[in-house]
Amino acid sequence: MKKKKKYISLYRKNSDNGRIIIDIALENYLEFFHEWDNSAFKKRDIHAELVNFLDLCSEDIPLKKDLEIVFTLPTNEINKEKEDLIRSSFKNYYSSVLRLEQRKTKKIIKSSVVLLVIAITLLTLYGLLNSIRQESIISKVFLESLLIGGWVFAWEAVHLLFIDILEPFHKYRETKRLLNSNLSFRYSLK
């Protein structure tokens, strides 16, 4: 309940479409981009502090709520070309983050499948070799190693698949929401 009240008091709501508004004040259009990035304007990175701010805001707001990001500039001169470049850079940045999170999720799933196969193999070997009763200490240690190794690999597979996958999955959902957010610009003189 506190989280709900917190985000309502921190962010405005667009009464037309119900989206939660994140307000960002820029001194100029270039402030959106990373200052050390000297690449062509169309391919510049988003400013790291802006990305951190958007991530923090996104964490405050429940995932079921859609977002609208409003950039406010202290001028009356509207430059549609620069607005479009900012929109394009924003979409490109969050599309690449989305692909990165998809790769992380796929990597976790592949790793857990491999670990599960190893676990099943070790436990199957234990089951097959356990029926052959040899009383030497080496055979007992080997059998116990198969059993322990099988359960360790099985636990790691379950841990990856059901616990470690939560963070990239949540980040994927937040990134997708940011990617689908509306970007708008507001102009006002100081």
DSSP symbols for 38-100: -S-GGGPPBPHHHHHHHHHHHHHS-TTS-EEEEEEES-S---HHHHHHHHHHHHHHHHHHHHH
Residue 34 — pLDDT band, cuts 50, 70, 90? Answer: low
Q: Which residues contact residue 172 at a Cβ distance below 8 angstroms, ignoring those fewer than 6 apart?
A: 98, 101, 102, 105
Q: What is the CA radius of gyration of the chain?
A: 26
User: Does residue 142 carry a pLDDT above 80?
Assistant: yes
The two counts, helices (H) then strands (E), for the chain are 5, 4
- Is pLDDT above 50 for 41? no
Q: What is the pLDDT of residue 33?
A: 78
- Report the mean per-residue pLDDT for the chain: 87
What residues contact 182, with CB distance under 8 A and at least 6 apart? 17, 19, 67, 68, 69
**Per-residue pLDDT, 35:** 59
- Categorize the per-residue pLDDT at 126 as very low, low, confident or very high, splitting at 50, 70 and 90: very high
- Kindly state the average pLDDT of the residues 146-157: 96
CB-count burial class (<10 Å; 0-12, 13-18, 19+) for 94: buried
Taking the complete model, does pTM exceed 0.95, yes or no? no
Do the strands 12-13 and 67-73 form a parallel or antiparallel pair, or are they unpaired?
unpaired
Q: Cα(161)–Cα(60) distance, rounded to whole angstroms?
A: 26
Cross-strand bridge partners of residue 176: none
Q: Band the pLDDT of 1: cuts 50, 70, 90.
A: very low
Mean pLDDT of 124-149: 87
